[in-house]
Every structure is written in structure tokens, then in C-alpha cells.
Structure 1
Amino acid sequence: MDDQQLSRSLDSDDPAVGLRAVGALHRLAEVTEARYVALARERGWTWEQIGDALGVSRQSVHVKHGKAR
């Protein structure tokens, strides 16, 4: 789903269309979060700094992203 499709879908009054758009947003957020967490770790950020930036605990971000990949 490209940006224009996503924008139109979020304005839809059809719940099925809107919910698919929400799913696309969730997937985009997860991929984007993983990318920037990895970048932060490469640049020496601590789990606490990353958690603070995301508004979550260091433990929760470490559990989610701390596994060896």
C-alpha cells in the first residue's frame, strides 16, 4: 500500500478498508522501529536510552529487540 492509498484508506467509511490501513501502519511502525533500534545500538546507545526515546522501559525494548539476529 503506497502513501496515497494509505491516506485514502484512512479516510474511508468502510471498516474493512480502514482496518487494513491500520494493519499496514502497524507493520510499517514495527519495521521502522526495528531499523532505528538497530541503528541506535550500532551507535552505542544503551537499552535505557532507546527505551526512553520510545517511551517504554529498557527491559521491554531489550526483550523485543535484544535477541541476537
Structure 2
Amino acid sequence: MFTGDLPAQIKSADPVVGLRAVGALHRLAEQVEAIHVELARKQGWSWEQIGDALGVTRQSVHTKYAKQEANHD
């Protein structure tokens, strides 16, 4: 997890600092995506609609999230 000013860390000349910032951004993006995929499914969106919104195939988003959805039922 990162601490401090993420924009400053991204611009850092130290690869360790920059790469940790990249990791933090990846984790944040995954969390935001999961939240909104779940919301979309609860609102009746199809896997195809979600995939289109994310710019990926319905198969890839279904593979990634369908198991999580089944565990919430």
C-alpha cells in the first residue's frame, strides 16, 4: 500500500517509489472496477454491457467476476 502523495510518487525519479505507486493504482482500479461491476449486475446489466463499458469482451469480464457474483447469492 502506498502512503503519502500519490501524484508525487508517480513523478519520482526513484523506480522503487514509482513502481509502488503503479501497484497502488492497479489495486485501486481493481477495487473500483469490482464495485461497479457488482452495481451494474444488481441493476440488471448484462455481461456484454459491462464488457463494452470496460472495453473488454463479455467473456473476460464474466470469467473475472461471475464466481464472485455466485458467492454473494
TM-score, structure 2 length as denominator?
A: 0.88
Task: Spell out, residue by residue over 1:5-34, the C-alpha distance to the aligned partner (whole angstroms, 9 max, x if none).
Answer: 111100100000000000000000000000
Aligned mates of 2:5, 2:27 — CA distance in 1: 15
Alignment correspondent of 2:33: 33
Structure 1 outlier segments of 4+, above 3 Å: none
How far did residue 42 of structure 1 move?
A: 0.3
Measured on the aligned residues, the alpha-carbon RMSD in Å equals: 1.1
1:15 aligns with 2:15: yes
Alignment correspondent of 2:65: 65
TM-score, structure 1 length as denominator?
A: 0.93
Aligned residue type for 1:65: Y
Unpaired stretches in structure 2, ≥5 consecutive residues: none
Aligned mates of 1:7, 1:33 — CA distance in 2: 21
Aligned mates of 1:44, 1:6 — CA distance in 2: 35
Look up the SS of the partner of 1:44 in the other structure.
coil
How many residue pairs get matched?
Answer: 68
Unpaired stretches in structure 1, ≥5 consecutive residues: none
Aligned residue type for 2:8: R
Look up the SS of the partner of 1:45 in the other structure.
coil
Aligned mates of 1:64, 1:43 — CA distance in 2: 18
